Amino acid sequence: MKNYVNIKHIKNLNNDGLRGIAFYKQELDILQERLQEIAGDNTAREVQEKVDHFQNQLLIHENYLNELKHDIHANDEAIEAELLITGALISENVAAEHTRIHERYLNEEKIFNELRHEFNRFAADWM
């Protein structure tokens, strides 16, 4: 017999994750605009190297956020499919997948915030 988990908490975390991803994507746009401004105003080699570094990091984060968004939607679809069968509970496998996705989101949030702080220190020196 399978064990089941109540989904209310999981759905709330998935929705929070999707809102967080939307927020971080807006932040990426803002950081990209500031980076372009810095690159346009400063042609020194050391600045251009940091600009390249940050452009690469922003692209990596954008791709990862897109992947996380896709995975959250896939998890929501798995939840919905199981709800059609059980009514209010999901299998431990779907719950475990949610946990892995949520941990990835929390890790991305931490890394993104570290990058933003690093970028802000760089921008303060060159704006």
Tokens of 14: 């998935």
Residue 42 is inside which H or E element, if any? none
State pLDDT tens for residues 3-49. Answer: 666 677 888 899 999 999 999 999 999 999 999 999 999 888 999 99
Residue length, the chain? 127
Of the chain, the end-to-end C-alpha distance in Å amounts to 62
- DSSP code of residue 6: E
State pLDDT tens for residues 109-121. Answer: 999 999 999 999 9
* Distance separating alpha carbons of residues 8 and 81, to the nearest angstrom: 15
pTM value is 0.89
